[in-house]
Amino acid sequence: MQVMMLIQETPEDFADRNGPAAEAYWGKWMAFSAACGDKVVGGNILGDGSTGVTITVRDGERQIQDGPFADSKESLGGYMIFEVDSMDEAIELASNCPAAASAHVELRPTVDMNAG
Amino acid sequence: MRPVDQASPAEEVELAARESYGRLLAWLTSRCGSISMAEDALADALAEAVRRWPEVGVPDNTEAWLLTVARRRLIDEQRRQGRRADAETKLRTAEQIRLTVSASEAAESPLGSGVPDRRLELLFTCAHPDVDPAMRTPLMLQTVLGLTAEQIGSAMLVAPKTIGQRLVRVKRRIARDGLPFEIPPDDQLPERLTYVLDAVYAAYGVGYDDANDAASAAAGLAGEAIWLAALLVQLLPEHAEPKGLYALLCLSEARRPARRDAAGRFVPLEEQDTAMWNQDLIESGEIALWRAAQQGQSGRFQIEGSIQSMHAHRARTGVTDWVRIGEAYRLLLRVSPSLGAAIGCAAALGRTGRTTEALTVLDGLDVDRVERHQPYWAVRAWLLASAGQDASGAYDRAIGLTADDAVRTWLLDQRTTA
């Protein structure tokens, strides 16, 4: 089964990417993804919320806004897709994710549209 | 009725549940033969307490009150089941169930609360050889301690819904297969006891390395495991190994406050400030070890306890006797080989400068078993670094397998300075 891990990060995490703590920040991530090995079949790092655009259409009325939809402290910093045998296995992998310690991560099994 | 001055009725319910849950559930299960039925009856009684106690005040004997209500629920349920006359149901009929506490049983009760203690039987059922080993610990935590699926799941890295479903299934199997609710006969007892002790140790082992925050789910579990070990010491005074386990847990737990410095940074065992070790826990552990030794039955948990005791000696002597610790690990490997014993042995060898030998011990371990085992990679990285070899790969593995941010940061530093 494939499980997507949505990675939420704090503003400090985003700042660490290019700041003085960059080496430690990336070190954690490199080590984490290496430890996941071939369980990772996909993923991407996302720019911080200010680089995003939110689009809503209501009754034909289109609204385009800069930034993420909700103004929460944590925001989506990336995602990874695991190929695993069970949710248990995905939980074990995800619990070592650096973002789980600083903000949080969410796991969602993907829906197989070709199934049965 | 007691005046409600210190705790609110809601807190009183929680307190009563915490103290009495396992004892009440074990007794109810021994009467009806079904853990789930007993749980439902007890849950109803607790819900009733939440409703009633704020109105009528907290009863003097909360345990007896809960038992009376739960018993009534159990009788109602039995009648309902009886009407259905379900031939498939292996539950004993209402007549067979003695729903009153006889005078002799009340006299057995160690706490004089009127409820005979059947928790030992319950523990043996939870760790029965026919119960999936992975489910023994969660089952104990739920039935004896009344922990929720959410608490158990958080500590054991399983989704609460999943662990809840698995618990329901395992309880159904226990009822269906009619697993005995009894203390095993003497000839089977030592072996069956190891399953019980293993399951309690597993509860403690969950997150020992990772979670040092006292408020975290896994650290909370450490306290629950010590409580269970103490219960086993009390219920099986004739046996030495429960004392060994209790000592092992107390002595390990004693160091928890020293595992972080004031800034929240991880502090490895050999750099810990011994003044921060919990002396009361160390003393409890040492006394238990000494009592166990008087009984002249050696065993795995007593050896593990004595290793922790040797570490505790540094508080008095200022030094750690790694040679003796290494010998104890080698003995442990002979008595009860495990991944933990091998890694401990390698670490002790490394401390006495026998790095090559230590790496040979690690190389001898099964690759599949160590692949995702953080302590293996952490010790391997340290040994490679001390031998002047490239340790960066092993450090990366250890860092990637760490859930605790403080440990991760410490390992990152070690890798940089290695």
At residue B88, the pLDDT reads: 43
Of B162, B395, B412, the CB nearest to A87: B162
Question: Tokens 């104990």 appear where?
Answer: B140
Q: Of the candidates A28, A87, A100, which has its C-beta nearest B412's C-beta? A: A28
User: Residue B77 corresponds to which tokens in the numbers above?
Assistant: 């349920």
CA distance A70 to chain B (A): 27
How far are the Cα atoms of A23, A27, A74, A94 from residue A12, in angstroms, in the given order? 14, 16, 10, 20
**What are the backbone dihedrals phi and psi of residue B8, each rounded to the nearest 5 degrees, phi first?**
-75, 160
Q: What is the pTM of this model?
A: 0.84
pLDDT in single tens digits along all 418 residues of chain B:
444 455 677 777 777 777 788 989 999 999 888 899 999 999 999 999 989 988 888 888 888 899 999 999 998 888 887 766 554 444 444 434 444 444 444 444 444 456 778 999 999 999 999 999 999 999 999 999 888 898 888 888 899 999 999 999 999 999 999 898 999 999 999 999 999 999 999 889 875 644 445 556 566 788 888 988 999 999 999 999 999 999 999 999 999 999 999 998 999 999 999 999 999 999 999 999 999 999 999 999 999 999 999 999 999 999 999 999 999 999 999 999 999 999 999 999 999 999 999 999 999 999 999 998 999 999 999 999 999 999 999 999 999 999 889 999 999 999 988 7
Residue of B162, B401, B412 with shortest CB distance to A96: B401
B204 min Cα distance to partner chain A (Å): 18
Nearest chain A residue to B159 by CA: give it.
A88
Q: Which of A28, A36, A91 sits opposite B159 (nearest CB)?
A: A91
Which chain B residues contact residue A34 at CB under 8 A? Answer: 396-397, 400
Secondary structure class of A77 (helix, strand, coil): strand
Residues belonging to chain B with any Cβ–Cβ distance to chain A shorter than 8 Å: 157-159, 162, 372, 395-397, 399-405, 408-409, 412, 415
Which of B112, B104, B202, B103 has the alpha carbon at shortest distance from B155? B202
Binding-site residues on chain A for chain B (CB distance < 8 A) = 24, 27-28, 30-36, 87-88, 91-92, 95-96, 98, 100-102
Chain center to CA of B236: 16
- Smallest CA–CA distance from A32 into chain B, residue: B400
CA A18 to chain B, closest CA, distance in angstroms equals 18
Give kind and range of the element (H or E) at residue A114: none
Contact in structure between B58 and B9 (CB atoms under 8 Å): yes
Choices 3.30.70.1060, 3.90.1150.10, 3.20.20.370, 3.40.50.12280: CATH for A2-109: 3.30.70.1060
Report yes or no: B218 and B210 within 8 Å, Cβ to Cβ: yes
Phi/psi class of residue B216: alpha, beta or left (left: φ > 0; alpha: ψ in -120 to 50)? beta
Q: Which residue has the tokens 């007691």?
A: B2
ipTM exceeds 0.95: no
Are the Cβ atoms of A34 and B415 closer than 8 angstroms?
A: no
Measured between beta carbons, which residues in chain B are less than 8 angstroms from residue A28? 399, 408, 412
- Residue A26: both structure tokens together: 């990336």
Contact B409 A27 (CB under 8 A): no
Nearest to A88 among B162, B395, B396 (CB): B162
Tokens of B165: 């479903």
Interchain proximity B403–A101, CB inside 8 Å: yes
Quote the minimal CA–CA distance from A58 to chain B in Å.
Answer: 36
What is the tens place of the pLDDT at every residue in B83-102?
665 544 444 444 344 444 44
Question: Tokens 């739960």, residue?
Answer: B70
Mutate to test the interface with A, among B372, B395, B413, B415 (most CBs of A within 10 A): B372
Q: How far is A61 from chain B (nearest CA, A)?
A: 41
Residues of B in contact with A35 (CB under 8 A): 372, 396-397, 399-401
E strand residue ranges, chain A: 2-9, 40-45, 53-58, 61-66, 75-83, 104-109
Strands A75-83 and A2-9, how do they pair? antiparallel
Partners of A45 in beta bridges: A78
With a pLDDT cut of 70, the percent of chain A lying above it is 97
Question: What residues does each domain of chain A span?
Answer: 2-109
Contacts of A27 in chain B (CB under 8 A): 399, 412, 415
- Which amino acid makes up residue B143? T
In order of A14, B4, B105, B167, B327, the CA distances from B35 in angstroms are: 50, 33, 20, 11, 44
> pLDDT, tens digit, for every residue of A95-114?
999 999 999 999 999 998 88
